[in-house]
Amino acid sequence: MQLQLDQDNPFAYPDAWLSGWPPFDRITDQHLSAAVTAGIEIRAAALAAVRDAPHPPVFDDVVEIERAHDLLWPIRQAWSVLLKTAGSAERDELNKTISALLADADAAAWLDADLAARVGDLHGRRAELGLDAQDLALLDRVHDDFQLAGAHLPADARETLRELRGREARLQAEIERRLGSGLAAAAVHVTDRAGLAGLDDAEIADAATAAHSRGLAGWLITQPGTSVPDVLDRLHDEGLRRRVYDAAVSRCSTGDDHDTRQHMVDLLRVRAHHARLLGRATHAELVLARQTAGSVQAVHDLLHPLAPVAARLVAAEDAALRADGPVQPWDRPLLTARLTSTTAAGDGLGDPREYLSLGTVLTGVTDLIAGRFDIHFHERRDLRPHVPNAWVWQATDSTGRHLGLVLVDLHRRTGKRGGAWTTELVAQSGRTGRRPVVALCLNLPGTGSSVGPADEVLLSPEQAATLWHEMGHVTHAMLSDVRHPGDAGHASLPRDVVEVFSVIFEHWALDPAVLPGYARHYATGDPIPAALVARLAQTRPGAGVRLLEDVAASLVDLALHDLAPDDIPAADALAAFADRVLADAGLGGTTVPLRYPLPAWRHITVGGYSARYVAYLRGDILAAQIAQQDECVPWMKETMALGALAADRFPIPDPVPFLASLGVTD
């Protein structure tokens, strides 16, 4: 297949590079923009050929529909990687154009009533077609996608849906821009090096590089995206901690060009109207119907009993941190770290971070994946990444069989979005013979282009667990073994089970049976002391805070998306609405903020987790259940290989094992 593009455009022959490596070193924004336009045209032609075929509907029509959509997927994903990891004001503006083009084209494709009717005819005769499980799953998925788009509705309703989809895309593109600029604007400038006490030399050097990149003297503490930046567990200066925290929690709500609140309200209203047109009361009802939870009430039934448990755990943790008054959110990380390290230091054990250098943690997780899943990672220096301080792995099994490629981009930089994520650029497919290409992205210390994979950056236990979490998604992609690309990898699963395997990986990172096998002192090479391993396993410092963050965020997300259009709060009332939701759940007055500032919450605005942020908590709960199984790893391998076909293999969530892991037994 060839796109009608200039021959120097890397996307001109997609079949060539889809089976290899995206040529990031040759891709320009102009190439991507042209490829999007050409891809839209060729997809439209391919879909029209199916729609207008003179023969009665046949199953191959469904395959051709997926094939047409599949062409645009890697182009979208390559653009997503560049936008999120090497963003700029120019790319933000281009994204508005690309998003609008794709939204209009997607609406035209999925609201085509005649094409949907051909698929509907097949779906009505599905039992007569002699299809196996994988082909039936494809037919069901494509049929459901047409139904969810509204292709079955009258023409006037379809036109309204088309307008709503375009409006949503434009809002999301603008929110994406403001999230990026707001994150950059929330960086805290420091002019006195003494204020950085507690940071190691590498972190201070990174802060200097960040300041220099903006033409500033001194140091710049950049934000990772959360309400409580990880640097707060190390900064000794209380005044600076407060500045960093205040800058974090006020992101995108300061009344300037970074403020997202009105756009967020408009987005909520668009989603609510969209759900109404499709016959659902709310957006939450619409999207949860396609999750394993099945309903809004099922999510409430999971969350509300956990709220008082989380509150009790946080109260106990805070009492251990400070007996003379409330624990402030900018102090809690440092006090928690000191409680753990002081106890450890009293036993002569030292700081856990000293045993968790980036190189050590990478070795640990890749060795475990090799041993348990027969996936072996090797650096491919001949393949060029998109930025100098990233690199590429090839994954093979023990026979040398190619499993896939991984773009590894772990360090912070100007223009990179906050957080951690894994993106599939190319999906595995038995039909096409393609193997996955994924991008593994974190925001670990290291902003300069001189930072490379061998750098000894010290990680907190939480950062190490996050890296292992994302490697769980990578493993999922490499193990995928399905026929149709839309069913492949972790991204194909319902959101509320997609995190399960990665949560298990998180637990393995600090598991007393795993940690001693890889944790070594960054300077001496000494193994981590057994007593420190036991301390980390026993305390899981801040576990109550994390549970409360999960419960609170899930409640607020669900409440915002379970409203009728006229009930959605005004922009300046969003914070008060969230406070009422938490108060109604018994979490009012907590000093634990939402994990992400509400106006800067990427997951539920542009990240695909709207009404489904509970996925992370469900992942914790299900992971605790599954980890108890005698054949946990074989079950994981089988289930990961099945992709979307494995959605019914997960148990009904039972919080008891998860709560027991937190020390809650009543």
**Tell me, what CATH number does 30's domain have?**
1.20.1050
Residue 3 within a domain: no
Q: What is the amino acid identity at position 475?
A: T
Residue span of the structural domain in which 28 resides: 14-152
Which positions ≥6 away from 148 have C-beta within 8 Å? 278, 286, 290
Q: What is the dihedral of CA 147, 152, 157, 158, to 10 degrees?
A: 70
- Residue 552: CB atoms within 10 Å: 24
Instruction: Return the structure tokens found at 553.
Output: 């965020």
The pTM of this model reads 0.92
- What's the confidence (pLDDT) of residue 5? 82
Determine the Cα–Cα distance for residues 107 and 74; give it in Å rounded to an integer: 19
Helix%, strand%, coil% for the chain, nearest 5: 60, 5, 35
Query: 369 and 518 in one domain?
Result: yes
H helix intervals, 189-295: 201-213, 238-249, 261-277, 283-288
Residue 396 within a domain: yes
**How many residues does this entry show for the chain?**
666
Query: 281 and 426 in one domain?
Result: no
Q: Answer whether 572's CB lies under 8 Å from 602's CB.
A: no
Q: Answer whether 600's CB lies under 8 Å from 182's CB.
A: yes
Q: 124 burial class (0-12, 13-18, 19+ CB within 10 angstroms)?
A: exposed
Query: 614 and 496 in one domain?
Result: no
Query: 477 and 367 in one domain?
Result: yes
Residue 414 within a domain: yes
Residue 261 within a domain: no
- In three-state secondary structure terms, 527 is strand
DSSP letters of 314-325? HHHHHHHH-SSS
CB burial readout 483-518, b (16+ within 10 A) else e: bbbbbbbbbbbbbbbbbbbbbbbbbbbbbeebbbeb
CB burial readout 402-429, b (16+ within 10 A) else e: ebbbbbbbbbbbbbbbbbbbbbbbbbbb
Q: Which residue has the tokens 């300069």?
A: 448
Determine the Cα–Cα distance for residues 228 and 231; give it in Å rounded to an integer: 8
Treating both helix axes as pointing N-terminal to C-terminal, what angle do 296-303 and 543-560 enclose, rounded to 10 degrees?
150
Determine the Cα–Cα distance for residues 64 and 216; give it in Å rounded to an integer: 54
Q: Answer whether 35's CB lies under 8 Å from 102's CB.
A: no
Residue 161 within a domain: no
- What's the confidence (pLDDT) of residue 2? 61
Determine the Cα–Cα distance for residues 469 and 508; give it in Å rounded to an integer: 9
Query: 517 and 384 in one domain?
Result: yes
Query: 415 and 490 in one domain?
Result: yes
Residue 172 within a domain: no
Query: 362 and 320 in one domain?
Result: no
Treating both helix axes as pointing N-terminal to C-terminal, what angle do 306-321 and 543-560 enclose, rounded to 10 degrees?
140
Among 466, 494, 527, residue at a domain's last position: 527
Determine the Cα–Cα distance for residues 272 and 270; give it in Å rounded to an integer: 5
- What's the confidence (pLDDT) of residue 337? 84
Query: 391 and 504 in one domain?
Result: yes
Determine the Cα–Cα distance for residues 133 and 649; give it in Å rounded to an integer: 15
- In three-state secondary structure terms, 252 is coil
C-alpha distance from residue 609 to each of 312, 498, 561 (Å) = 28, 11, 11
Treating both helix axes as pointing N-terminal to C-terminal, what angle do 543-560 and 574-584 enclose, rounded to 10 degrees?
120
* Domain at 514, CATH number: 1.10.1370.40
Determine the Cα–Cα distance for residues 150 and 139; give it in Å rounded to an integer: 17
- What's the confidence (pLDDT) of residue 452? 44
Residue 5 within a domain: no
Among 152, 187, 218, residue at a domain's last position: 152
Query: 595 and 643 in one domain?
Result: yes
Instruction: Return the structure tokens found at 421.
Output: 């994520």
Which positions ≥6 away from 154 have C-beta within 8 Å? none
Query: 310 and 395 in one domain?
Result: no
- What's the confidence (pLDDT) of residue 347? 55
Determine the Cα–Cα distance for residues 615 and 601; give it in Å rounded to an integer: 15
Query: 322 and 203 in one domain?
Result: no
Determine the Cα–Cα distance for residues 516 and 532; give it in Å rounded to an integer: 10
Q: What is the amino acid identity at position 258?
A: H
Q: Give the DSSP H or E segment for 405.
A: strand 402-411
- What's the confidence (pLDDT) of residue 450? 42
Among 104, 137, 152, residue at a domain's last position: 152
Please name which of 231, 325, 248, 224 lies closest in space to residue 593, comparing C-alpha atoms. 248
- What's the confidence (pLDDT) of residue 454? 44
Residue 171 within a domain: no
Query: 557 and 492 in one domain?
Result: no
Number of domains present in the structure of the chain: 4
* Domain at 551, CATH number: 1.10.1370.10
- Averages of pLDDT over runs of 10 residues in the chain (666 residues) are 77 73 87 93 96 97 96 90 92 94 96 98 97 97 96 97 97 95 95 95 89 95 91 95 98 96 99 97 96 94 97 94 90 87 56 91 97 97 90 97 96 87 95 95 69 65 94 98 95 89 95 95 92 79 91 98 98 98 95 96 95 95 91 95 93 94 85
Determine the Cα–Cα distance for residues 432 and 62; give it in Å rounded to an integer: 15
